[in-house]
Structure 1
């Protein structure tokens, strides 16, 4: 019996290969397979896109083993891009999950051999239920293709695995085929960035397209506000208490009259003025920049960066309702 040292020695002998050459060969072989499938795209693919775009039910993607992993990804990508879909594990389908399928649904079944046992065993039931079956395979004579209402058969190519056994090229082409399907469907719906953001509220794009300044502003007692005529001393106390770097000055109708910032305070103090003898009216900026409450936070951030300011008052129907700072926007994960 070989000891651990001897086993490791044997492994090292086996793995002494030209690694870069082998890696590049995988890229080359899978690239060739992709080009073959690209050239094989025909009216069958067009029909599949048209069929799914007019589907009244659900789109269900299924596959076993490596094809199952690919199927999960395809279902997830389609869902992200506007096609409501989910993955169905064929083994679980055999034990009750076939109840998820209805006659209005479309099933996309992926099996390169077309003879995966778990797939072939659910095909008769899919037909009985009345769902439309789309078979994706590399074997035109397979059970999957024979059962399918619509199909796409991959052209012949080699797996990138040195033994031509492990699913490599076949999973890559299936993944890209699914991406092409999802993208074409998305464009046929007129799917926009705003739609994508709706399905990805936690993502960077979702935040940029959904979060408005009034969602993150400082308002009410958290906002720094004084009335016109307030002494500069009292205004400084209010500004330091709220710690926003800015104080808003309003009239009796809550209309914004001016602002006074930390920078304005430093400039005022550098002139050695008597802060006890001045009103905020004497030092405020009377034509301040401001933003409307419905403005997207990302646009407010751009505005502040362009004007080199750290905070902005927020207005709704001519009245001051809050303040937003650069840090507030960056803090929710929005960057430009």
Structure 2
């Protein structure tokens, strides 16, 4: 067998081993997980995640996942904890400790201190009878039959199992808290979901002098001048109280020209579209994007709480803000 087929088979075997390890976890999830969820929900402080080596790398990810899904969490390195960082842990906190063997020296050194603090200790370990398992109030069993490493040495399947149990705990907590997409967005304001769920029309709309508006009696040429100056591809037609009467767009202009109509003698009221699409200033920007897509338009007028013209938002405004 050449090197390439051997590499492919080795990779496939690693995936098979890790998949089997994850599958075996399913039947082991039961009362300990339920108790862990209850303990975290009852925690008045933060979840402090700890782990050494590869378990530490997994722990950092678990802490980040918990924090982004509604459970305040942080990672504290066990070795640094013995040299002052244990001061970050308060009696109101809960510690989630990861160790496949459960015999990490750095973790073992601080377990008595954690017990004196009175914090709840949840262990994710492959050996419930280990030092960590015996000190823990709750044990989530992450044992695996073998590592995906052909030498059965490098942490592979065991760290995958730890990661999966951490994700399972985070998802169970998310469900128990009734966590919604809006809550997730508040933890991810810079991401695509955050922009979609936190950006409102009022944040992006053009208003004031940037808004193309004309009176119904405005001459057609004057309306064209306003449209050109404002560069939005439309003009809103309003009365003296800023109540919306209609809209005239570049598309309306093309249709008039196609009909061969004499435009110079017309007024805004005579050519405007009387039922324009509108959106509330308080609506999400993504709602304006959906409206544009549904109606196949590129601009939506914005009304305030009194149904008066407050602004306009165009597809380019949404694209610049990366809402779409």
Q: Return the TM-score normalized by structure 2.
A: 0.95
Contact 1:256 1:319 in 2 (8 A): yes
Q: State the Cα distance separating 1:140 from its structure 2 match.
A: 2.5
- Per the alignment, residue 326 of structure 1 pairs with 315
SS at match of 1:103: coil
* 2-structure distance, mates of 1:156, 1:67: 14
Q: What are the residue-to-residue correspondences of 1:261-276 with 2, within 5 Å?
A: 261-276=249-264
What do residues 283-310 of structure 1 show as CA deviations (whole Å, max 9, x unaligned)? 1112222112122211211111111111
* 2-structure distance, mates of 1:17, 1:276: 77
* 2-structure distance, mates of 1:182, 1:193: 15
Contact 2:144 2:161 in 1 (8 A): no
* 1-structure distance, mates of 2:318, 2:106: 50
SS at match of 2:121: strand
Contact 2:189 2:195 in 1 (8 A): yes
Which moved further from structure 2: 180-189 or 49-58?
A: 49-58
Alpha-carbon RMSD: 1.7
Q: State the Cα distance separating 1:165 from its structure 2 match.
A: 0.4
* 2-structure distance, mates of 1:288, 1:57: 52
* 1-structure distance, mates of 2:177, 2:219: 59
**Which one of the candidate residues 12, 23, 28 is aligned to 2:16?**
28
- Per the alignment, residue 42 of structure 2 pairs with 54
**Which one of the candidate residues 187, 191, 200 is aligned to 1:203?**
191
Q: Which runs of 5 or more residues in structure 1 are unaligned? A: 1-12
Question: Is 1:162 aligned to residue 150 of structure 2?
Answer: yes
Contact 2:217 2:269 in 1 (8 A): yes
* 2-structure distance, mates of 1:59, 1:16: 45
* 2-structure distance, mates of 1:117, 1:26: 29
Contact 2:247 2:272 in 1 (8 A): yes
Q: What are the residue-to-residue correspondences of 1:7-156 with 2, within 5 Å?
A: 18-156=6-144
- Per the alignment, residue 250 of structure 1 pairs with 238
Q: State the Cα distance separating 1:312 from its structure 2 match.
A: 1.1
SS at match of 1:157: coil
Contact 2:49 2:74 in 1 (8 A): yes
SS at match of 1:40: coil
Contact 2:81 2:110 in 1 (8 A): yes
* 2-structure distance, mates of 1:210, 1:322: 19
* 1-structure distance, mates of 2:256, 2:70: 56
Contact 1:36 1:155 in 2 (8 A): no
Q: State the Cα distance separating 1:141 from its structure 2 match.
A: 2.7
* 1-structure distance, mates of 2:81, 2:167: 25
Q: Return the TM-score normalized by structure 1.
A: 0.92
Question: Is 1:302 aligned to residue 261 of structure 2?
Answer: no
SS at match of 2:227: helix
What do residues 254-278 of structure 1 show as CA deviations (whole Å, max 9, x unaligned)? 0011110011112223344444322
Query: CA 1:165–1:255 in structure 2 vs 1: closer, same or farther (change >3 Å)?
Result: same
What do residues 189-235 of structure 1 show as CA deviations (whole Å, max 9, x unaligned)? 11111111111122222222221211100101111111121111111
Query: CA 1:252–1:172 in structure 2 vs 1: closer, same or farther (change >3 Å)?
Result: same
Aligned length: 323
Q: Which runs of 5 or more residues in structure 2 are unaligned? A: none
